[in-house]
Amino acid sequence: MDIENKLKGRDFISIHDFSEAEVAYILAVGLQLKQERKKGIAHPLLAGKTLGMIFQKSSTRTRVAFEVGMYQLGGHALFLSPRDIQIGRGETIKDTSQVLSRMVDGIMIRTFDHEEVMGMACWSSVPVINGLTDLLHPTQVIGDMMTILEHKGRLRGLKLAFIGDGNNVANSLLFGGAKVGMDVTIACPAGFEPDQEILKLARQDAAETGASLKVVESPWEAVNGADVIYTDVWASMGQEQEAEEKERKFAEYQVNKSLLSKAASDAVVLHCLPAKRGKEITDEVMDGPQSVVFDEAENRLHAHKAIMALVM
């Protein structure tokens, strides 16, 4: 069975669930769809299909990328906030999933608790896409890897340094790097490390591709010779009450010109956005010549289109 047939009908919850070849194929399709879009070539691969989008968390890039992506693929997207559907009044994930999957062709859910996505997938008869949970953000990392491929021409053997909180993006970068043979080092203060079970699983994947996965405290150690520098907000959505404390503990984890100077001379800088400029990243770096932050944001659209086109 070819890869495309193997992907059809699958849930997209974690990059860990996919083989190295499958991840490479998703990236290739994303880049192809981007090139076609730039050339004005229509690709109505999901004509007549509908995506139900459940947003328990606010969003700019994820919502726009999925909504515009479905339009460009010839389909239709339905935005469903907790205020709009009965899940906001206590209807169970089980019931919501069973009802929606009889009406739509795919479900995207962006929420806090990862178990909600797992429950949605368990009871849905159509593919479920994880648009973000507190544990993982896999669609983001597909866009990230597309961006690195565009600027570096490869992923295998590159060194990526993530500076900041060991959050959902850091967890998914571990999975992503492990699958494609890219070394990933997470630099974070003690007590803010990535999920240990995620790290264990990612290292199992890395054993097959030769990727090196490390967690260190020193951002200087992490960025030494790195090809890619990645950062994110220190306090994720839902953690705003921790922002002040984290600003104190993460003061040495800012991606600035001094830190960037320790990376490879042609290193690129990524940030999944939104950014707290002047906190985790300076204007000088984010708007500088090594920043590919807005290419990365654009690639969310093409990454999401590839995922939807392949699983739906």
What is the pLDDT of the chain when averaged over all its residues?
Answer: 96
pLDDT of residue 84: 76
pLDDT digits (tens, 9 = 90+) for 270-288: 999 999 999 999 999 999 9
pLDDT of residue 240: 73
CA 207 to each of CA 29, 177, 193, 229, 287: distance values in angstroms, whole numbers, following the listed order: 26, 11, 21, 23, 37
- Whole-number percent of the chain with pLDDT over 90: 92
Known catalytic residues are 110, 137, 140, 232, 272, 300
Q: What is the largest CA-CA distance in the chain?
A: 54
pLDDT of residue 238: 67
Residue with tokens 């994303």: 30
pLDDT of residue 86: 79
**Rounded Cα–Cα distance for residues 275 and 161 (Å):** 17
pLDDT of residue 98: 96
**Rounded Cα–Cα distance for residues 152 and 164 (Å):** 23
Q: Is residue 110 within 8 Å of residue 132, measured between CB atoms?
A: yes
| Of the candidates 87, 126, 143, the residue with the CA atom closest to the CA atom of residue 110 | 87
Domains along the sequence of the chain with CATH: 3-136+300-311 (3.40.50.1370), 140-297 (3.40.50.1370)
Is residue 120 very low, low, confident or very high in pLDDT (cuts 50, 70, 90)?
very high
pLDDT of residue 305: 98
Residue with tokens 């940030």: 271
pLDDT of residue 1: 62
Q: Which two tokens stand for residue 99?
A: 């009802």
Quick one: DSSP state of residue 290?
T
- What is the rounded average pLDDT of the residues 124-139? 98
**Rounded Cα–Cα distance for residues 198 and 273 (Å):** 23
Quick one: DSSP state of residue 193?
P
Q: Which of 81-85, 118-122, 301-305, 306-310 has the lowest mean pLDDT?
A: 81-85
Question: What are the strands of the beta sheet with 228-231, ordered from one edge?
Answer: 213-216, 183-187, 159-163, 228-231, 268-271
Residue with tokens 């070394």: 183
pLDDT surpassing 80 at residue 159: yes
CA 192 to each of CA 14, 39, 98, 216, 230: distance values in angstroms, whole numbers, following the listed order: 21, 44, 37, 11, 16
Q: Which two tokens stand for residue 292?
A: 């590919």
CA 220 to each of CA 100, 134, 259, 261, 287: distance values in angstroms, whole numbers, following the listed order: 48, 27, 7, 10, 21
pLDDT digits (tens, 9 = 90+) for 51-106: 999 999 889 999 999 999 999 999 999 999 877 777 767 889 999 999 999 999 99
- Whole-number percent of the chain with pLDDT over 70: 99
pLDDT digits (tens, 9 = 90+) for 204-258: 999 999 999 999 999 999 999 999 999 999 987 667 778 888 999 999 999 999 9
